[in-house]
Amino acid sequence: MDYRITGKGVEISEAIKNYLEKRLDKVDRVIYDDELVSFNVRIERDGKNQYVVKFNMNLKGNIINVEERNPDIYTAIDYACDALEKQVKRLKERIKNHDHRKTLLPKKSEEPGEFTPSDKISSVRRVSLLNLDLDEAVMQLEELNHKFLVFRNVNTGEINMLYKGENGDIHLIEMVE
């Protein structure tokens, strides 16, 4: 499995890389190579002398975020890997069962001349609301090569949206209640 690892306030040694690789093998067995779009690993140290391990995985548009904290870096990696494996399995199960739900939905009436605005919606996709700071959100937008990204700003607690303008500039919309 290909992933990018970064550290903030932590030196990522070969021992940590090897341990992470070994722990991610369980997740790798569940994911097919063509499903994985991007996978970022970030290990940092917070102000409370704890290690924070963050995983951000994009599986063909389904984004999985995991964040675990622990004073021991290896325990934090263990917890994060376990949580990631659980979320990946849950996502795959939900996708597998998705086809069964389509057959259970009632058929909509197709009388000519009847039109509702919801008929304009061609597909629905449910995604998790990401908790990111502004720098991480910009990085996600560029890395995923999306036109926009909706997220909860961890600094303000508000929902924000980043989008790319026609000239490639990135714009921020801050939602207020």
Encode pLDDT of 24-53 as tens digits: 888 888 787 677 778 889 999 887 889 999
All CATH 3.30.160.100 domain ranges in the chain, comma separated:
1-97
pLDDT at residue 169 in the model: 92
137 pLDDT higher than 80: yes
Task: Give the residue-averaged pLDDT of 77-87.
Answer: 90
**pLDDT band per the 50, 70, 90 thresholds, residue 110:** very low
Whether the CB-CB separation of 150 and 129 falls below 8 Å is answered with yes
For residue 63, report the phi and psi dihedrals to the nearest 5 degrees. Answer: -95, 130
Question: Which regions of the chain carry the CATH code 3.30.505.50?
Answer: 129-177
Q: If pLDDT is split at 50, 70 and 90, which confidence band does 117 have? A: low
Q: What is the mean pLDDT of the chain?
A: 82
User: What is the Cα–Cα distance from 76 to 173, expressed in whole angstroms?
Assistant: 34
CATH topology of domain 1-97: Double Stranded RNA Binding Domain (3.30.160)
110 or 133, which is more confident?
133
pLDDT at 112 over 90: no
The pTM of the full predicted model, rounded to 2 decimals, is: 0.54
Res. 116: pLDDT tops 50:
yes
Distance CA 142, CA 170 (A): 9
Q: What is the pLDDT of residue 119?
A: 65
If you write DSSP's letter for every residue of 33-54 in order, what string do you get? TTTEEEEEEEEEE-TTS-EEEE
Q: Which fold is adopted by the domain 129-177? A: SHC Adaptor Protein (3.30.505)
What's the pLDDT at 76? 92
C-alpha distances in Å from residue 34, one per residue of 13, 24, 56, 154: 29, 17, 17, 32
What letter does residue 111 receive in the DSSP assignment?
-
